[in-house]
Structure 1
Amino acid sequence: MTAPPAPKGRRVIELLIEVPAVTVTFVMMLHITANALLRSFANSPLPNTLEYVQYWYMPIVAFLGFVAAQLRGQHIAADLVFRMLPRSTKPYVTAVGCAASALMAAGFAWYGWGEAVHAWEITMTAGVSDVISWPTYFLVPLAFASLTVQFAWATVQAVRNPEADDADESSGAETTSV
C-alpha cells in the first residue's frame, strides 16, 4: 500500500534537506575517488581529504539525515511492548516518548550551541591541519533544534489525534518490529 503524497509545504522542506545531503554525498564520493586515484596512479593524493570527509562531509550528511528521517517518519521502531498495550493508552505512551525525545534533543541543541560558539571563538581547525572545522559545529544545535520541534509536534499530534496510531497499525505503516 502506498502512502498518500506529502503536503506541498512539507515536500519543499524535504527537498531543502535532501538536495543538500545528496549533493554533499556526491561531492564527497568524487573527492574520495579522486584522492584514491591520484594516490594510486600519480603518487600525489589530494591534501587533507580525511579532514574534509571527517569534519565537513560526514557531519552534514549525518545531521541532515537525522532531520530527514524524522520528518519522513522513517526511524526504526522496535515496538516489543507497545503492541501489547491497550489501545486507549498507546497515544499517551507515544506522547510521553516523543516529549522525552524532544527534551533530550533540546538538551543536545543547548549543549551543542555552547560547543559551537566555543569552536567559533577559538577558530577550531580539523586536527593539526589548517582546514577550518568550526562552522560544522553549528550543525549540531541546528539539527537538534529541528528535531526538538519535530518531536514536540509529534507529542501534540499523539494527544490530539489518538486514532492516527490505530490507522497506522491497520494500514501496515512502515515500522520495523524486532
Structure 2
Amino acid sequence: MSAPSKPKGRRIAELLIEVPAVVVMFVMMFHITANALLRFFANSPLPNTLEYVQYWYMPIVALLGFVAAQLRGQHIAADLVFRMLPRAAKPYVTAVGCAASALLAAGFAWYGWQEAVHAWEITMTAGVSDVISWPVYFLVPLAFASLTVQFAWATVRAIRHPDADEDDEQPGTEPAAA
C-alpha cells in the first residue's frame, strides 16, 4: 500500500522551504571545502569563512529545517508516557502540548522580531569582522511564526478529530494491521 499523496499546496510549501535549505547547504559545503583546500595547498584560506558559516549558513539551514520537519511531521517523539495514557485522553494531551508549543513558538517569534529589528538598527556584523549578519536575524521570527501557525493547526486538528490515529497523519507510514 502506498502513502497517500499530499495536497498540492503542501507540496509547494515543502519545496519553498526545502529547496533554499538544500541550496544553502550545498553552498556552505562548497565554501568550506574551498577554504580547506586553499588553506592546505595555497596557504591562503578564504577570508571570513567561519563567520559566513556561523552567522549565515547554519542559521538558515537549522531554522528552515525546523519548519520543514514540523510540516512533514518528522520531529523526534519520545512517547514513553503518552503510550500509557487512556485512548480518550490522548487527543487532549496532544492538544495541550501543541497549544503550549504554539505559545512558546509565538514567544520566540515576538522576541526574535525585537532582536531582528535591533540588529537591523545597529547594522550588526558577525563578531569583529565586517560581514553583515543582521538580515539573517529576520529569519528567526519568520520561522517561529510559521511554527506557531503549524502548532496551532495541530491543536485544532487534535480537538476536532480526537479519533484520528496518528499513524494516518504521518506521511510515508501505514497504519498497523489489526
TM over 0.5: yes
Alignment of structure 1 residues 76-95 onto 2, 5 Å: 76-95=76-95
SS in 2 for 1:171: coil
Partner of 1:121: 121
SS in 2 for 1:164: coil
Amino acid at match of 2:97: G
Partner of 1:132: 132
- Taking the aligned partners of 2:14 and 2:166, their CA distance within structure 1 comes to 26
Shift of residue 165, structure 1, vs aligned partner: 2.7
Matched positions, count: 172
**Percent identity over paired residues:** 86
Segments of structure 2 that go 5 or more residues without pairing to the other structure are none
Segments of structure 1 that go 5 or more residues without pairing to the other structure are 173-178
Amino acid at match of 2:175: S
Partner of 2:141: 141
Amino acid at match of 1:14: E
Partner of 2:67: 67
Contact 1:18–1:68 (8 Å) recurs in 2: yes
Is residue 58 of structure 1 aligned with residue 71 of structure 2? Answer: no
Deviation by residue 1:93-117 (Cα, 9 ceiling, x = unmatched): 1000000000000000000100000
Please report the RMSD computed on the Cα atoms of aligned residues, expressed in angstroms.
Answer: 1.4
Is residue 8 of structure 1 aligned with residue 8 of structure 2? Answer: yes
Shift of residue 3, structure 1, vs aligned partner: 2.7
Contact 1:91–1:165 (8 Å) recurs in 2: no
SS in 1 for 2:126: coil
Amino acid at match of 1:154: A
Amino acid at match of 2:120: W
